[in-house]
Structure 1
Amino acid sequence: MARLVVPTKGQRFHQISQPVNGWLKSFGAGDGLITLFLRHTSASLTIQENTDPDVQADIIDALDRLAPETVGYRHHMEGADDMPAHIKTLLTGVNLQIPVIGGEMDLGTWQALYLVEHRDGLHQRTVTLHYLGT
């Protein structure tokens, strides 16, 4: 097991495929399964398009339409972006399981692993990594 710390700034996608594959290589992972768990309630993990950045921008826009800041939520102690961030995390999730083949995540050609920040400010997000396999 390990923890990956990802500094974030603003609502956007942060690709974490390389550091996760690097961790798998660091101990000689073979074939198995990696579980990733994000230890936060206002950011999420996803596998998504890795070539056209418009896909990421469109997803951010869609999530903003689903959970706008202007609704007047009861929970607002941490700012207008906090409750919408919790809703976006509920919709997108905080854990993933990915097959590992030959020591690398078995992602498709157009896929990458991302931490999605749903808050506006600076944050340090922590992803717990767990590998089970040969």
Structure 2
Amino acid sequence: MEIEFATEADYTYIADRDQHIAKALIASKIREKEIFMLRDSSEVIGRMRYGYLWDNTPFMNLIWLDEPYRGKGYGKETVLHWEQLMRQQGYPTAMTSTQSNEDAQHFYRKLGYKDAGCLMQENDPMEILFTKKL
């Protein structure tokens, strides 16, 4: 698997599949190198997107692998790649979250993320916040 920063050529792919980001933000996140494309040969198999909570803490907003590529270590490889990049840039901590009804919470805990609280929004499952010292 190759992990590469998204380029303008990836815009349509991202816009068509990522329903959790405003279309108006995709181009700027590509320019700021805040989206990774995950590829097997030249085929896109997933993506990872991040930003910054409080403008100073890297926050992984989304990691997605297409179904046939799950459970093969690609997600872990991607998260560790991102963490290393954030560490190199001098960030001491990274964060992410997932809803309480999603299995991703177990994935993050296996990678060393610690429960840091929750967010409760009306009509949505509880959002669990995670932190990890880099």
Q: State the TM-score, normalized to the length of structure 2.
A: 0.29
Greater fraction of residues in helix:
2
Q: State the TM-score, normalized to the length of structure 1.
A: 0.29
Structure number with greater CO (CA < 8 Å, separation at least 6) is 1
